[in-house]
Amino acid sequence: MDDTTLLMIPGPTTVPKRVLDAMSQPIINHRGAEYGEFLGETTAMMSEVFQTDNDSYLLTGSGTSAMETAVANIVEKGDKVINIVSGKFGERLQQLTEVFGGESIEITVPWGQAVDPAEVKRVVEENDDAKAVTLVHNESSTAVVNPIKEVGDIMKDYDTLFVVDTVSSLAGDTVKVDDFGLDICLTGSQKCIAAPPGMAAITIGDDAWNVIDNVDSPTYYLNLKKMKKSGDKVPPQTPYTPNVSMTYAMNEALSMVLEEGLDARIKRHHTGAEATRQAAKALGLELFAREGDYSNTLTAIKMPEGVTDDQLRGTMRNKYNIELAGGQDHLKGNIFRIGHMGITGLPELAATFTCLEMTLKEFGFDFDAGAGVAALEDVYLKNA
Amino acid sequence: MDDTTLLMIPGPTTVPKRVLDAMSQPIINHRGAEYGEFLGETTAMMSEVFQTDNDSYLLTGSGTSAMETAVANIVEKGDKVINIVSGKFGERLQQLTEVFGGESIEITVPWGQAVDPAEVKRVVEENDDAKAVTLVHNESSTAVVNPIKEVGDIMKDYDTLFVVDTVSSLAGDTVKVDDFGLDICLTGSQKCIAAPPGMAAITIGDDAWNVIDNVDSPTYYLNLKKMKKSGDKVPPQTPYTPNVSMTYAMNEALSMVLEEGLDARIKRHHTGAEATRQAAKALGLELFAREGDYSNTLTAIKMPEGVTDDQLRGTMRNKYNIELAGGQDHLKGNIFRIGHMGITGLPELAATFTCLEMTLKEFGFDFDAGAGVAALEDVYLKNA
């Protein structure tokens, strides 16, 4: 670790030097064959990470641009859409539904909990004219993972599309687009893939294309029909000028994912998550999410009484150069969040919990010094 | 020059090493004060380059995302919009107008010519209920510059907004947003600013905000009200995760623009353009654009009889590692285009014309060897 701030937030995450170096290569013509072939290689790796035989598309934009792409290309005025809302990003898919004229049927899930698949089945059954169900796999605002496999299994019995946001889970938790029956799946560059922010990806199944082809979408930059038309060229292109440097970064970051192996990488994320939870508990801290619903890429911890968000995260930042995330919306000040995604692992968690222990001591908390780190060690030894 | 392909296309242009290096710095928290202050410094430079006192916003997207932002935030179903169409990018603003439900009133300008301001006055007068006039300053599909100052002077007498695309001109030709009365002005990162592609910028005047505030725009990712709300924070933020690396690149590239001086940089572009035109003529080639309407950032040259696009540009690419641009749409095969924007100058033009002479000789063209380069020298000596 060098003197740069340690990013322990749920994205953007620390970017490996290999990826940063890739990004500083000279720009090439985005309409030339060399770029086209490189793009094709990169989107093929993207599909491999999505675990799908479908084509994937890279978007020059952040995760939200992919969320808008997913919604804007299927929802028309008056369309019913079932939005599962269990946090800020679930809300965002609902807002997008409404922006594009859809009628949102909300499945409300308390923040900190995962959705119950039986509830999804009930609502889908009741609304068999709904065009889509939207679900955020890993709700980073609450550090909860939603059961996309179980919901996917239910959705296989209905014509309703299943749209899944895996921005903060893909390459860090299990996402099998084809096996799980995800009709549309989207992600971002700056979370578990560990590239810089600024690129997003989306993959579309045949049933979704049938819908998209019949929608006159009020979007141009994020138009999937245009992306497909350009992507189908040999070699593939993008409809508008892509971020060439970010394509280099994604190619390198996805290569690193596949070199590590998807299963190994996901196991590493699970270990880091379990270690973080045990370390927090060993310091007497309480987790925010309901037991069993814990995210595998970040952890939300209740702000302990006796210290404010400014004091805790401020000390971690100013004294120890470690950046933690706060709560969002009504959770602001009530929780703090530790991201353990991408290349973040034991060294970073060790530094984080050592400094968290020192910070808590400074504010008069009582626990055995080293208890958090001891819990980390225990989990890592068991999972070695 | 190293062994990388020489990019003589109208964007993306060659990116200076300083900018590429800036981009490979570690990622910082996009919600932290450090990023916010850096963003504020960068958008302030952006406004300086736009020559405006208005705020500017950086978009994580390509130039087209800024075009969509400009249109989507002001046009509602049934709104009349006057689209000046003199090439592919003028057409794109018209398509965007229609995507967002606007009624396009087209001012058709033959490809290769600039719009006549008197014609704009006539049409604006006739349609005083039009919400906006859209104009592409530098139409890179035809290598023509449109008279934004003269049209701006006319527009000052009307309530109709003046929306100007300066994607391929800003920092390479004269754009004075406040003086010229441009209500909305947008640009891209990868042209005369010489950063990589993947970021765009937009600046909005008070009259435009009055319209935007009253439009219920069907856009989320490109929503200007959200950009303003986040941008007004101290320090400023972006509504969604920005491309942090591209913000580094833009900061460095804009610093280089301001170090060189906007006037000096524009004069350098004018000299490069004049040199290119004279060199082309000296080889017996014909320019595509009408005399007097020539772009200052790229030049379109008619494909001479006796050589195909594949032969000419293919030889330049495969034998000499120099990338030229072809024609778009119906101009495909009929013209080729040389970009002279960003940091591209005498060394690159010398290499390009030397190799172009050799290519033309190979296909049997007759001219004095060295005539093109001699013309370059002459223009550069006169403008030293």
Contact B241 A95 (CB under 8 A): no
- CA–CA separation, A115 vs A113, rounded Å? 7
> Which H helix or E strand runs over A350?
helix A346-362
**Interface contact A245, partner B, CB < 8 A:** yes
**Helix runs in A283-345, H state only:** 309-318
Phi/psi of residue A34, nearest 5 degrees: -60, -45
pLDDT for B330 equals 95
CA angle, corner B344, sides to B343 and B349, nearest 5? 160
Nearest-Cα residue of chain B relative to residue A31? B325
Do both A166 and A145 map to the same domain?
yes
Q: What number is the average pLDDT over the span B279-288?
A: 98
Phi/psi of residue B17, nearest 5 degrees: -60, -35
B218 CB neighbours in chain A (<8 A) are: 99-101, 218
Q: Of the candidates B14, B196, B325, which has its C-beta nearest A245's C-beta?
A: B196
Do both B221 and B285 map to the same domain?
no
Angle between helices B371-382 and B262-282 (to 10 degrees): 150
Q: Are B299 and B337 in contact (CB under 8 A)?
A: yes
Contact A99 B14 (CB under 8 A): no
Coil, strand or helix at A10: coil
Chain B: give the shortest CA distance to residue A368, in Å: 31
> Which H helix or E strand runs over A282?
helix A262-282
Instruction: State pLDDT tens for residues A83-101.
Output: 999 999 999 999 999 999 9
Q: Of the candidates B31, B198, B218, which has its C-beta nearest A243's C-beta?
A: B198
| Percent of chain A topping pLDDT 70 | 99
Q: Is residue B1 part of a domain?
A: no
Both structure tokens of B340: 């002279």
Q: Is residue B80 part of a domain?
A: yes
B59 by Cβ neighbours in 10 Å (0-12 / 13-18 / 19+) ranks as: buried
Nearest to A139 by CA among A111, A116, A161, A119: A111
Nearest-Cα residue of chain A relative to residue B76? A218
pLDDT for B4 equals 81
Chain B: give the shortest CA distance to residue A241, in Å: 6
pLDDT for B122 equals 98
Do both B308 and B220 map to the same domain?
no
Chain B: give the shortest CA distance to residue A242, in Å: 6
Coil, strand or helix at A56: strand
Q: Please report the ipTM that was assigned to this predicted complex.
A: 0.92
Q: Is residue A170 part of a domain?
A: yes
**Interface contact A243, partner B, CB < 8 A:** yes
Question: Does A356 score more than 50 pLDDT?
Answer: yes
Chain A: give the shortest CA distance to residue B279, in Å: 24
Nearest-Cα residue of chain B relative to residue A328? B31
Do both B225 and B332 map to the same domain?
no
- CA–CA separation, B77 vs B79, rounded Å? 6
pLDDT for A1 equals 42
| Rounded alpha-carbon distances, angstroms, from residue B113 to A130, B110, B141, B146, B288 | 51, 6, 11, 8, 9
Q: Of chain B residues 158-217, which have a CB less than 8 A from chain A?
A: 188, 190, 196-199
Do both A241 and A291 map to the same domain?
no
Contact B32 A323 (CB under 8 A): yes
Question: Does A3 score more than 90 pLDDT?
Answer: no
Nearest to A115 by CA among A141, A81, A148, A82: A148
B24 CB neighbours in chain A (<8 A) are: 20-21, 23-24
**Interface contact A310, partner B, CB < 8 A:** no
Q: Which of B210, B226, B259 is the last residue of a domain?
A: B259
Q: Is residue A133 part of a domain?
A: yes
Chain B: give the shortest CA distance to residue A341, in Å: 14
Instruction: State pLDDT tens for residues A155-176.
Output: 999 999 999 999 999 999 999 9
* Site from B24, B39, B104, B225 to mutate, A interface, most A CB atoms within 10 angstroms: B24
Chain B: give the shortest CA distance to residue A65, in Å: 6
Nearest-Cα residue of chain B relative to residue A10? B29
A301, β-bridge pairs: A287, A336
The CATH number of residue B133's host domain is 3.40.640.10
Q: Of the candidates A99, A220, A245, which has its C-beta nearest B198's C-beta?
A: A245
pLDDT for B1 equals 42
Do both A137 and A24 map to the same domain?
yes
Convert chain B into a string of H (helix), E (strand) and C (coil): CCCCCEECCCCCCCCCHHHHHHHCCCCCCCCCHHHHHHHHHHHHHHHHHHCCCCCEEEEECCHHHHHHHHHHCCCCCCCEEEEEECCHHHHHHHHHHHHCCCEEEEEECCCCCCCCHHHHHHHHHHCCCCCEEEEECEECCCCEECCHHHHHHHHCCCCCEEEEECCCCECCECCCHHHHCCCEEEEECCCCCCCCCCEEEEEECHHHHHHHCCCCCCCCCCCHHHHHHHHCCCCCCCCCCCCHHHHHHHHHHHHHHHHHCHHHHHHHHHHHHHHHHHHHHHCCCCECCCCCCECCCEEEEECCCCCCHHHHHHHHHHCCCEECEECCHHHCCCEEEEECCCCCCHHHHHHHHHHHHHHHHHCCCCCCCCHHHHHHHHHHHHCC
Q: Of the candidates B23, B31, B188, which has its C-beta nearest A23's C-beta?
A: B23
> Which H helix or E strand runs over A208?
helix A206-212
A328 CB neighbours in chain B (<8 A) are: none
Instruction: State pLDDT tens for residues B70-86.
Output: 999 999 999 999 999 99
| Percent of chain B topping pLDDT 90 | 98
Do both B198 and B301 map to the same domain?
no
Chain A: give the shortest CA distance to residue B157, in Å: 32
- CA–CA separation, A298 vs A142, rounded Å? 9
Instruction: State pLDDT tens for residues B87-140.
Output: 999 999 999 999 999 999 999 999 999 999 999 999 999 999 999 999 999 999
Instruction: State pLDDT tens for residues A310-338.
Output: 999 999 999 999 999 999 999 999 999 99
Do both B328 and B201 map to the same domain?
no
In terms of residue numbers, what domain contains A293?
6-12+261-382
What is chain A's mean pLDDT, rounded? 97
The CATH number of residue B333's host domain is 3.90.1150.10
Q: Which of A214, A239, A259 is the last residue of a domain?
A: A259
Do both A198 and A283 map to the same domain?
no
pLDDT for A328 equals 95
Q: Of the candidates A14, A28, A197, which has its C-beta nearest B243's C-beta?
A: A197
Q: Is residue A1 part of a domain?
A: no
Q: Of the candidates B7, B24, B100, which has its C-beta nearest A24's C-beta?
A: B24
* Site from B221, B223, B244 to mutate, A interface, most A CB atoms within 10 angstroms: B221
Q: Rg (Cα) of chain A, in Å, rounded?
A: 21
* Number of folded domains that form chain B: 2
Q: Are A86 and A136 in contact (CB under 8 A)?
A: yes
pLDDT for A218 equals 85
Do both A120 and A217 map to the same domain?
yes
Contact B4 A26 (CB under 8 A): yes
Both structure tokens of B336: 């080729």
Contact A241 B188 (CB under 8 A): yes
Instruction: Tell me the residue type at A173.
Output: D
Q: Of the candidates A15, A64, A242, which has its C-beta nearest B240's C-beta?
A: A64
**Interface contact A68, partner B, CB < 8 A:** yes
- CA–CA separation, B46 vs B373, rounded Å? 36
A67 CB neighbours in chain B (<8 A) are: 221
Q: Are B184 and B70 in contact (CB under 8 A)?
A: yes
Instruction: State pLDDT tens for residues B194-211.
Output: 999 999 999 999 999 999
Q: Are A217 and A73 in contact (CB under 8 A)?
A: yes
Q: Is residue A135 part of a domain?
A: yes
Nearest to A150 by CA among A243, A236, A75, A84: A84
Instruction: State pLDDT tens for residues B314-343.
Output: 999 999 999 999 999 999 999 999 999 999
Q: Rg (Cα) of chain B, in Å, rounded?
A: 21
Contact A246 B244 (CB under 8 A): no
**Residue listed under structure tokens 């039986």:** A118
Contact A243 B32 (CB under 8 A): no
Do both A288 and A319 map to the same domain?
yes
Q: Is residue B58 part of a domain?
A: yes
Chain A: give the shortest CA distance to residue B68, in Å: 7
pLDDT for B2 equals 52
Chain A: give the shortest CA distance to residue B99, in Å: 5
Q: What number is the average pLDDT over the span A230-252?
A: 98
Do both A308 and A170 map to the same domain?
no
**Interface contact B28, partner A, CB < 8 A:** yes
Chain B: give the shortest CA distance to residue A310, in Å: 13
- CA–CA separation, A280 vs A277, rounded Å? 5
Chain A: give the shortest CA distance to residue B216, in Å: 9
Q: Of the candidates A100, A196, A242, which has its C-beta nearest B218's C-beta?
A: A100
Q: Are A201 and A20 in contact (CB under 8 A)?
A: no
Provide CB contacts within 8 A for A332, sequence distance 6+.
A309, A326
Instruction: Tell me the residue type at B372.
Output: G
Q: Is residue A73 part of a domain?
A: yes
Q: Which of A213, A242, A259 is the last residue of a domain?
A: A259
pLDDT for B218 equals 84
pLDDT for A2 equals 52
Contact B241 A29 (CB under 8 A): no
A164, β-bridge pairs: A135, A185
DSSP A294: B
| Percent of chain B topping pLDDT 70 | 99
Q: Of the candidates B197, B199, B220, which has its C-beta nearest A99's C-beta?
A: B220
Q: Are A351 and A367 in contact (CB under 8 A)?
A: no
Contact A198 B63 (CB under 8 A): no
* Site from A7, A23, A24 to mutate, B interface, most B CB atoms within 10 angstroms: A24
